[in-house]
Amino acid sequence: MTISASQHRTRNPLERRYALLGVLLIAPTVLILCAVIVYPLISAIYLSLFSIYTPTLKGSWVGLGNYAQVFGSSGFWGALGTTVTWTVGTLFLQIVFGVAMALLLNQNILFRSLARSLVLFPYFVSTVVAVLIWRWLFNDLYGILSHLLIQFGVVDMPVDWLGKMPNAMASVIFVGAWKFFPFVVIAVLARLQTIPEQLYEAATIDGAGVFGRFFDVTLPQLKEVLTIVILLRTIWDFKEFDLIYLLTGGGPVNNTRTLPLIVYQQAFGLNQMGIAATYAVAMMLVMLAFMLIYLYRARRQAP
């Protein structure tokens, strides 16, 4: 972060002072990030080499033993599979709903800004609130959802939305999509508004229908923004804790228990802080590997 010596020759004193000022301005950020991110990150890796009992914080060195235990257990791989299922499922719905809704909201409809506000709201509402609402809607005895389905003759018994598979996973994925799809809507909507009208006119002249115009004009134009949206949402969905923990707690059995939930349970339910840190580090490695592959491929495909 210091001014490089090699550049000194080419720089006048003012520029050098500016560079110093720049370093000074960024210094608080760097210090804070070191304290709250870099240092804890190193600590997490360090802790993962111990066996630690949470309430007493007494530990003993186990080296890579935790890693052998974690990678050797079906728990980790099962949870990784669950995490991937959740991420892919909810991301897919978010993208589909999000793009579709953005296309609709891009039309000239009545009270467009009100409609946009309403669509945006779930994204900003607290996850705790979102989960409470959905648990109430899903309630087996008094929930409106089962009631309406029974009234319309779709089912004849209240549905067990959260307690059995595959319902639980589907519900979690769906609530996740409801909560997070507005992010896609806003991102895509902003991009849609910048697509030149001429492109559509040209396509229409060439005889393209609604779908033709979507696939030939809109989608290629959205490619860039979607790449970034998918990247960000994958990261955020992969590490989502609140929504799943509060909705199902990982159940039934462990069918919706994703990696972040295991970390929490190990650390504070089973009081195994060392193993918990190991899971956390392993989870990060998986994410890192995924990101590198994604970025590498995205870069290769880009012209």
- Which one among 71, 92, 96, 117 touches another protein, defined by CB under 8 A? 117
| Per CB under 8 A, 74 contacts another protein | no
CB of 288 to another protein, least distance (A): 7
Asked if 40 is part of the footprint of another protein (rule: CB under 8 A), the reply reads: yes
Residue 78 binds to another protein (criterion: CB under 8 A): no
Q: Which is nearer to another protein, 219 or 288 (CB)?
A: 288
Pick 63 or 303: Cβ nearer another protein: 63
Of the candidates 91, 99, 159, 217, which one interacts with another protein according to CB under 8 A? 159
The span from the CA of 3 to the CA of 144, in Å, is 64
Contacts of another protein in 235-254 (CB under 8 A): 235, 238-239, 241-242, 246, 248-254
For position 142 contacting another protein by CB under 8 A, the verdict is: yes
Q: Are 119 and 105 in contact (CB under 8 A)?
A: yes
- On whether the CB atoms of residues 247 and 134 are closer than 8 A, the answer is yes
Which is nearer to another protein, 65 or 251 (by Cβ)? 251
Options 108, 153, 211, 302; binder of another protein; rule CB under 8 A: 108
Residue 228 found at the interface with another protein (CB under 8 A): yes
Q: Maximum CA pair distance of the chain?
A: 82
119 binds another protein (CB under 8 A): yes
Residue 57 has which token pair? 């914080």
User: Which C-beta is closer to another protein: that of 123 or that of 199?
Assistant: 123
Residue 64 touches another protein, criterion: CB under 8 A: no
Own/partner long-range contacts of 37-41 (Cβ < 8 Å, ≥24 apart) = none
Question: Which residues, 6+ apart, have CB-to-CB distance to 261 below 8 Å?
Answer: 79, 241, 244, 245, 249, 250
β-strands 50-53, 58-61 pairing: antiparallel
Segment 174-213, which members bind another protein (CB under 8 A)?
Answer: 178, 183, 186-187, 190
Please report whether residue 134 would count as binding another protein according to CB under 8 A. yes
Q: Is 293 in the site for another protein (CB under 8 A)?
A: no
Give 217 or 267: the residue with its C-beta nearer to another protein.
Answer: 267
34 interacts with another protein by CB under 8 A:
yes
